[in-house]
Amino acid sequence: MGMVFGKITVETPKYEVVQSSADYEIRKYPPAVAAEVTYDPSQFKGNKDGGFSLLANYIGALGNPQNAKPEKIAMTAPVITKSPGNESEKIPMTAPVVTKGDNNNMVTMQFLLPATYKTAEEAPKPLDERVAIKEEGERKYGVVKFGGVATDKVVEEKVENLKKSLERDGYKVIGQFLLARYNPPWTLPAFRTNEVMLPVE
């Protein structure tokens, strides 16, 4: 019942707050291991979140884990996505599901694996070749948190404002944004936690 009201009960990425202002936080994330899938939403009837089921199957969230051990892997939050239409530099993230996009329609969605996995080799090998395991190094982001439904329009506005604030304060943005969503789709919109993240030097 708690999830309907936005209670986050799964592991989330650890980070250090380097600076906090009224407009954003600068966060430093330690290295992490992620499972990710890159796809064209048309493969999933136009659903930009179509890759979720591939990642959920890999960790065993929807039944038997689709990995070589097979080993059930705990779900983490947020889910990270990088969406189409941004500049095409890749941005890493941790513990959520991350979606990234490049100049065509491709979308990348990531689950950060629990912190117990220190290297890509320690993570069970996916049975579905579309799922890739990768290591993310230490990274720094400018982050804005917001509630409600993360529609394209809302996200675009948050990213634009964040970018202006960061540049105003002398930060150099070094890649495209990530959208981090912490709650399942059945969480009431007013109780949802979302973040947009821009990588900075």
- What CA–CA distance (Å, rounded) separates 141 from 56? 26
C-alpha dist (Å) from residue 178 to 54, 137, 183, 194: 19, 16, 16, 11
Residue intervals of the chain classified under CATH 3.20.80.10 are 31-137
Quick check: bond before 70 cis, omega within 30?
yes
> Tell me: the pLDDT tens digits for 92-141?
444 455 555 544 678 999 999 999 999 999 999 999 999 999 999 999 99
pLDDT of the residue at 42: 87
- What CA–CA distance (Å, rounded) separates 28 from 18? 7
Torsion of CA 54, 56, 58, 60, to 10 degrees: -140
> Tell me: the pLDDT tens digits for 42-93?
888 888 889 999 999 999 998 999 999 999 999 999 999 987 554 433 334 4
pLDDT of the residue at 86: 47
Fold annotation for 31-137: Multidrug-efflux Transporter 1 Regulator Bmrr; Chain A (3.20.80)
> Tell me: the pLDDT tens digits for 8-27?
889 999 999 999 999 999 99
pLDDT of the residue at 8: 85
